[in-house]
Amino acid sequence: MEFDYSEHDEGRGFSYWEADPVLRDEVERVYDEDEHDWGAERLAEFGRLVGEEVVDNSDAIDDNPPELRTYDKHGEVVNEVDYPPEQEENDRIAFENGAVADSFRAPPERDEPMPLTHSLAHYYLIAYCDIGLGCSVSMTGGAALVLEQADEKDRHDDTFDALTARDLEDLEQGAMFLTEIQGGSDVGANETIAEPTDEEGVYELTGEKWFCSNIDAGAPLVLARRPDAPEGTDGLSLFHVPREVDGEDNDLYYRRLKDKLGTKSVPTGEVELRGATGYLVGEPERGFKYMTEMLNYERVTNAVGSCGSMARALVESKVHAADREAFGSAIEEFPLMKKDLVDMTVTHEAATALSFDAADALNGYVRDEDDEAYRLMRAIVPVAKYRTGEDAVEMASYAMEILGGNGYVEEFPTARLLRDAQVTPIWEGTSNILSLDVLRSMQKEAAHEVVLNRIDDYLDEAEHPAVVPVADRVREERDELEETMHDVAASGMDGAQLRAKDLADFIYDVYAAAVLVAEAQREAEEGEGRKTVVARRFVDNHLDEGRITDETPLERFDVIAKYESVGIDEVTDEKLQRAD
């Protein structure tokens, strides 16, 4: 049964899983059957907890965010972050429901861990109301992944166990300290030094880190340079710098917390390493490679989280549009509002489809060591992170407008939604840096070949007469994308960089359209036509130039914006805007 927006006053107080058929579809698509049998029930319960409890806790934390106590009244260094009580409740809900643990160790009633996509689905739900909480969850999973990938579980097995603990009392959270004042994007400019001690693999780290989220995490990973190591990223090694060593505070000094626009529930600050004890992770001078593993994971979480944030903006908008009356009727009755809600729904649906594909590719590479999945992930992860971050900001901003004047007031959810979303294009790499990463993936891994093949595979699935014309239209764009890729590759360093962001957008649009086509075909086989309508609308909006003038938002409002079912036969004769 569809979700009835008019029954609610606000986009909270109900299960976000139940209210979100797009997430449910994607989970079903990318999980194996047995994973889905086990996981869907857990996500349903988690979605309820987020929609009914985390959501209120997060508002309370935002009003009373964590604070740093640097010194006590006697001038002694205290170096502690004080949290409001709701933070522990949210941490407990997230970690004890397996948001990290289930993807790294076999959860109850299973012999194997769940795929990384399961952790990411939790992250999506968390992002409905707290990207800050999502940040600590994601960095804890990311740190565990680095230790798992660097074959370091044996040397750091206690840390791995603590990062993947289900029980809050046994848990250590993760963090990554890369950015220094002289370089965030330019990580190779890092100056923090790691001096070896007499004990093998143990170092003393000295330097300053400029942006450290989850600052007081028990198990941060830190990049630093050993003496005589080369300059740039090739000279960086990775260290586990625990908050405590043998029960004593490590020599980490928290200088101050940043007074941030949003994501206030996760304390972000500046850290001085004053000869802090650090344990080498993996091989020396390969730190940037290991950290890249974590960054890939963080970037997918960012993409999936941006989709969760969009989902919240959508549900708030739809509830408000169903309830609010102006000029004698609910505002969702007005054509322009129908168009707004239809196109926001389509944007979110395409973003979620592409992001879960990126998540699945990352999982395939990490868990199955699949080279093709690696190459796909290399291109699709930066594309997804870049575009979904931008879309999340735009969607939160427009949701604010849909709530009218109230939307601009802090007591309503859209103000924080926008403040929080605004970080998604910045951290884990800005949009420019990610677009350049797409170019790098094409040059180094020929990732574009795998992207084009995957688009072809999706389009080749189309068989139903309602879906084939959409696939044919996307295929035209796919051929143009291939040409553009070659042009960019041949256009010299500056020329290629100049076009990198446009190329990332083009890849995003064609790839997302292809996934939607495949989803439309699968639904059509069961007699359902909704995804076909969504795929058409996405193609009309994103792959065709000029302004769209058709009446889909009026005719198919309930189907698209309210996820109502429609028979495939009923929509077979409807056309794409640009006649075939």
Ligand X SMILES: Cc1cc2nc3c(=O)[nH]c(=O)nc-3n(C[C@H](O)[C@H](O)[C@H](O)COP(=O)(O)OP(=O)(O)OC[C@H]3O[C@@H](n4cnc5c(N)ncnc54)[C@H](O)[C@@H]3O)c2cc1C
d(CA 164, CA 174): 10
Tokens for 562?
């309210």
The dihedral built from the CA positions of residue 424, 425, 429 and 435, taken in this order, carries a sign that is: positive
Residue 576 Cβ, how far from ligand X at the closest point, in Å? Answer: 36
Residue nearest to ligand X (CB): 184
Q: Which listed range, 156-164, 425-433, 449-457, 466-474, lies at the site for ligand X (CB under 6 A)?
A: 425-433
The structure tokens 């930066």 sit at 382
What is the footprint of ligand X within residues 266-285 (CB under 6 A)?
A: 268
Collapsing DSSP states into helix, strand and coil, what is residue 198?
coil
Q: Which is nearer to ligand X, 183 or 275 (CB)?
A: 183
Q: Return the number of the residue (278 or 529) whose C-beta is nearest ligand X.
A: 278
Let me know: does 280 contact 239? Beta carbons within 8 Å.
Answer: yes
CB of 391 to ligand X, least distance (A): 17
Specify the stretch interacting with ligand X by CB under 6 A; choose among 35-43, 226-234, 429-437, 444-452: 429-437
The token pair that represents 180 in the structure block = 């220094």
Tell me how far apart the alpha carbons of residues 286 and 221 are, in angstroms, rounded to a whole number: 13
177 or 511, CB closer to ligand X? 177
Q: Facing residues of 225 across strands?
A: 193, 236
Helix (H, G, I), strand (E, B) or coil at 443: helix
Stretch in the footprint of ligand X (CB under 6 A) among 68-76, 151-159, 211-219, 569-577? 211-219
Contact call for residue 297 and ligand X (CB under 6 A): no
Strand partners of residue 202: 279
Q: Is 12 in the site for ligand X (CB under 6 A)?
A: no
Our CB check for ligand X shows the closer of 303 and 342 to be: 303
User: Which letter does DSSP use for residue 464 in this model?
Assistant: S
Pick 214 or 355: Cβ nearer ligand X? 214
Q: What angle do CA 381, 126, 94 make, to 5 degrees?
A: 110
Using the 8-state DSSP alphabet, how is residue 106 labeled?
P
Q: Does 254 help bind ligand X (rule: CB under 6 A)?
A: no
- In the bound complex, what is the minimum distance in angstroms from residue 480's beta carbon to ligand X? 25
Kindly report the backbone phi and psi dihedral angles of residue 429, in degrees, each rounded to the nearest multiple of 5, phi listed first: 105, 125
Number of residues that bind ligand X (CB under 6 A): 21
Residue of the chain from 183, 188, 196, 404 that contacts ligand X (CB under 6 A): 183
Q: What residue spans of 324-370 are helical by DSSP H?
A: 335-368
Applying CB under 6 A, which of residues 427, 458, 506, 557 lies at the interface with ligand X?
427
Q: Looking at beta carbons only, is 97 or 263 nearer to ligand X? A: 263
Nearest approach, Cβ of residue 179 and ligand X (Å):
3
What b-and-e string marks burial along 297-329, b requiring 16 or more CB atoms within 10 Å of the CB? bbbbbbbbbbbbbbbbbbbbbbbbbbbbeeeee
Residue 367, amino acid: R
Applying CB under 6 A, among 6, 70, 185, 453 the residue interacting with ligand X is 185
Q: C-alpha 57: how far from its chain's center? A: 21
Is 140 near ligand X (CB under 6 A)? Answer: no
When binding is defined by CB under 6 A, the residue of 432, 440, 446, 472 that contacts ligand X is 432
Tell me how far, at minimum, the Cβ of 116 lies from ligand X, in Å. Answer: 20
Separation of first and last alpha carbons in the chain: 35
Nearest to ligand X of 385, 542 (CB atom): 385
Pick 21 or 218: Cβ nearer ligand X: 218
Task: List all residues 6 or more positions away from 576 whose beta carbon is below 8 Å from its beta carbon.
Answer: 469, 470, 473, 536, 539, 540, 544
Largest Cα–Cα separation, the chain: 79
Residue from the set 90, 190, 213, 424 that interacts with ligand X by CB under 6 A: 213
Binding residue for ligand X, selected from 17, 160, 177, 374, defined by CB under 6 A: 177
Report the alpha-carbon distance of residue 464 to residue 520 in Å, rounded.
9
Residue 212 touching ligand X (CB under 6 A):
yes
Among 423, 520, 533, 559, binds ligand X (CB under 6 A): 423
Q: Identify which range of 143-151, 178-186, 190-198, 389-397 contacts ligand X by CB under 6 A.
A: 178-186
Burial class (CB in 10 A: 0-12, 13-18, 19+), 32: exposed
Between 352 and 391, how does the x/- string for binding to ligand X read (CB under 6 A)? ----------------------------------------
Give the interface with ligand X as residue ranges (CB under 6 A).
176-179, 183-186, 211-213, 260, 263, 268, 423, 426-427, 429-430, 432-433
